[in-house]
Amino acid sequence: MRVAVVAGPGDGCWLSELAEDGTGHGPVVWHDDCPAAVVAYERSGGVRWVWAAAAGVYPALLRAGTIRKADFVTATRPLEAVAEAFELASSGQHVKVLVTVGER
């Protein structure tokens, strides 16, 4: 299951389950405690997260122990842009940058 996350004020967020092909979504639901909502989804298993903007939500998730830095991808770059990927990864603005190969 894919779940879209949009950070809100404080530790809150909006979540919405997405269709596997990305063409639609379920209701958008407000959660006062984003880390707790993420944990609840994680316990159900098989969750793929779609983050509108990681900077607004991952600090609260890290503080709550909901995720580890190693679990969080904040940018992707194609293999042809590997130098840019390394630059982003060392900039301190991203937690993890993945280099992709081929079409996805």
Q: What angle do CA 16, 52, 33 make, to 5 degrees?
A: 60
Query: Could you tell me which residue, 94 or 35, shows the higher pLDDT?
Result: 35
pLDDT of residue 29: 94
Cβ-contact 75, 97 below 8 angstroms: yes
pTM confidence score: 0.60
pLDDT of residue 32: 95
Task: Indicate if the pLDDT at residue 102 is higher than 70.
Answer: no
